[in-house]
């Protein structure tokens, strides 16, 4: 059957209306997929829980130290002779040195806490705190850069080093075992 001039060829009306709907819908769908694929994804900030926990501990220790009451001293003249003064040795203060093959613990002293690493004898370390548990110091682990607890018996500390300049650090509480 031929079509009269100026008319379109006849197609079934159902197929034609489906094509009219699908073409714009397909274009919109492709545009949405392309824009979603090309959109910048937000990068979550990295979280370093250990450093955060240590920083919180240091901040609490420093705040507690800053808020501690200070004693006032009043000079009273006396005739008591002063004890002889000890003159510190000349030269710079030496950094702490590990003197025994030592364990370095995360978050607190001893086997109740996680072992961070072992540190070789003769290794120079950076002291970052004094433990509130007697006989323990907190150092910057020379291998991993983390704060860890080390026994005082495993360190040689220059006797001229002023330990009062370092914050007192309390170990993290242990979680109860079920």
Kindly report, residue by residue over 52-102, the tens digit of the pLDDT. Answer: 566 656 655 565 555 555 444 444 454 555 555 555 555 799 999 999 999
pLDDT of residue 4: 59
- Is the residue at 2 inside a domain? no
- Is the residue at 7 inside a domain? no
- The residues of the chain scoring below 70 in pLDDT are 1-22, 32-33, 35-90, 177-178
The predicted model scores a pTM of 0.50
- State the Cα–Cα distance between residues 69 and 13, nearest whole angstrom: 92
- Is the residue at 10 inside a domain? no
Domain that holds residue 113: 93-168
Contact 107, 172 (CB under 8 A): yes
- Is the residue at 139 inside a domain? yes
- Is the residue at 142 inside a domain? yes
Q: Are strands 126-131 and 168-169 parallel, antiparallel or unpaired?
A: parallel
Task: For residue 116, report the phi and psi dihedrals to the nearest 5 degrees.
Answer: -85, -50
Contact 99, 156 (CB under 8 A): yes
pLDDT of residue 34: 72
- Is the residue at 81 inside a domain? no
pLDDT of residue 75: 47
Q: Report residue 164 as tokens.
A: 């009062």
Q: Report residue 44 as tokens.
A: 């979550």
Indicate which CATH number applies to the domain containing 136: 2.30.30.40
- Is the residue at 52 inside a domain? no
Q: How many domains, in total, are found in the chain?
A: 1
pLDDT of residue 175: 77
pLDDT of residue 74: 47
pLDDT of residue 28: 73
- Is the residue at 116 inside a domain? yes
pLDDT of residue 27: 75
């Amino acid at each position: 059957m031929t079509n009269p001039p100026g008319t379109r060829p006849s197609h079934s009306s159902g197929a034609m209306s489906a094509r009219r709907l699908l073409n714009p819908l397909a274009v919109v769908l492709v545009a949405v997929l392309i824009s979603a694929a090309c959109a910048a994804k937000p990068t979550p900030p990295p979280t370093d829980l250990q450093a955060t926990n240590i920083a919180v501990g240091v901040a609490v220790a420093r705040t507690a130290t800053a808020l501690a009451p200070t004693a006032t001293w009043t000079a009273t003249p006396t005739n008591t002779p002063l004890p002889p003064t000890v003159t510190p040795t000349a030269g710079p203060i030496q950094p702490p040195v590990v003197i025994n093959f030592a364990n370095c613990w995360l978050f607190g002293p001893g086997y109740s806490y996680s072992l961070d690493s072992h540190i070789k004898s003769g290794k120079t370390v950076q002291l970052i705190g004094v433990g509130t548990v007697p006989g323990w110091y907190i150092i910057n682990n020379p291998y991993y850069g983390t704060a860890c607890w080390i026994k005082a018996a495993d360190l040689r500390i220059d006797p001229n080093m002023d330990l009062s300049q370092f914050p007192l650090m309390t170990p993290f509480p242990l979680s109860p075992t079920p």
